[in-house]
Structure 1
Amino acid sequence: MNIQQLENDFVKLTLLNLENYVHLQDIANEKDLIFYSPSDITTPETLRNYFQAAVDGYHNNTVIPFLIYDKIKNAYAGSTRFGLINWDTKVLHIGWTWIGREFQGSGLNKQVKFLMLEYAFDVLQFEKVEFRIDERNMRSRKAVEKIGATLEGILRKDTLMRDGFKRSTCCYGILKEEWQPLKLSIFKDFY
């Protein structure tokens, strides 16, 4: 796997490493940025540990982590990754996505998802892309529904959150055979 970046006119996704993640320290300090995640990025140490786990996953071929750079605003905007990559079954997850508040609602996330879906289906030739979202996170759920993901089920009380709450997780998916029609309808203006 030799990927350095994915890019279009609006966004650039650069492979994350332990040197470049520092561009996200200010964004990571935004209050409740990843409220619906069991992860902690609130201190420099926990942020480094969060990205160390992503980099370790990259070296184990189970994760491809990215920095998100907004080319319109000329600024680093957040982070995302392919995760739980199963090279045998050709299924992976897109997630661990967080974007600073000034970039939210700008269409940036849709651009990010387009690049990632295009790479997963058209380059890596994967059969399915999944998204796992906290049942309470209506904003993220609506975002993946808008790009054509189908709710496949809910894992009830499956994830322990930092505050001790046991969240339920919505499982969404897009199949390879669904990708071309989505590309021609939802993402038709992206290429």
Structure 2
Amino acid sequence: MTLENNRVKLMLLDLSNYHYLVNIAQEKDLIFYSPSDISTPEKLKAYVQVAVNGYYQKTTLAFIIYDKEKQAYAGSTRFGLINHKSKVLHIGWTWLGDDFQGTGLNKNIKFLMLQHAFETLQFEKVEFRIDERNSKSGKAVEKIGATLEGVLKQDTLMLDGFRRSTCCYGILKGEWHAIKNVAFSGF
């Protein structure tokens, strides 16, 4: 499966293509706000293997991100915690190399993923879970129309032993049409 527009191409991430991300994954503090570790080729491979396992269990759908403007692989993102019965999924696990941050690439990624979730998969809700300290990501999902629904206090253990609190944002299928026309006008 591929999701694509004029700016970005999202292809399934697996053990045959993750090597394109090895250099980006080693950038300092790339996933500081994540409980995952992708800092070595071996750790990145294990991270991708978890995503591949989730694909076969129908609980995740991970993508490798290709920036068409820069003609380069940029990072990764995924649908996760997919609940087919309740028609709810999460968008997250997104990381982009420094050269791709602040370029509009992430907005294109989120548009394609939200469009696919609501219009193709016919899901009822998309959620985003963000470290309370990561105000940059919180503002980004608010800009695309997500609503802060609450904070899970100290719910995630980080690699350094810190217990982070997680901000929960959501977009409902009934809100998508208006969000698409406002936050993503021009797409």
TM-score normalised according to structure 2 size: 0.99
1:105 aligned onto 2:96:
no
Residue 7 of structure 1 aligns with which residue? 4
> Hey, what's the Cα distance between the residues in 1 that align with 2:40 and 2:72?
21
Letter of the 1:45 counterpart: E
- State how 1:1-191 maps to structure 2 within 5 Å: 4-190=1-187
> Hey, what's the Cα distance between the residues in 1 that align with 2:131 and 2:62?
20
> Hey, what's the Cα distance between the residues in 2 that align with 1:100 and 1:173?
25
> Hey, what's the Cα distance between the residues in 2 that align with 1:139 and 1:87?
30
2:155 alignment partner, SS class: strand
Residue by residue over 1:26-53, the C-alpha shift from the partner in whole angstroms, topping out at 9 and shown as x without a partner, is: 0001000000000000111111100000
> Hey, what's the Cα distance between the residues in 1 that align with 2:165 and 2:183?
28
> Hey, what's the Cα distance between the residues in 2 that align with 1:174 and 1:185?
14
TM-score normalised according to structure 1 size: 0.97
Letter of the 1:187 counterpart: F
> Hey, what's the Cα distance between the residues in 2 that align with 1:47 and 1:21?
8
How far off its partner does 1:118 sit? 0.1
> Hey, what's the Cα distance between the residues in 1 that align with 2:181 and 2:37?
38
**Structure 1 stretches of at least 4 aligned residues deviating more than 4 Å after TM superposition:** none
Kindly, what percent of the aligned residue pairs are identical?
A: 69
Q: Work out the number of aligned pairs and report it.
A: 187
2:54 alignment partner, SS class: helix
Structure 1's unaligned 5+ residue stretches are none
> Hey, what's the Cα distance between the residues in 2 that align with 1:137 and 1:183?
24
CA RMSD of aligned residues (A): 0.4
How far off its partner does 1:142 sit? 0.6
Structure 2's unaligned 5+ residue stretches are none
How far off its partner does 1:188 sit? 1.4
2:64 alignment partner, SS class: strand
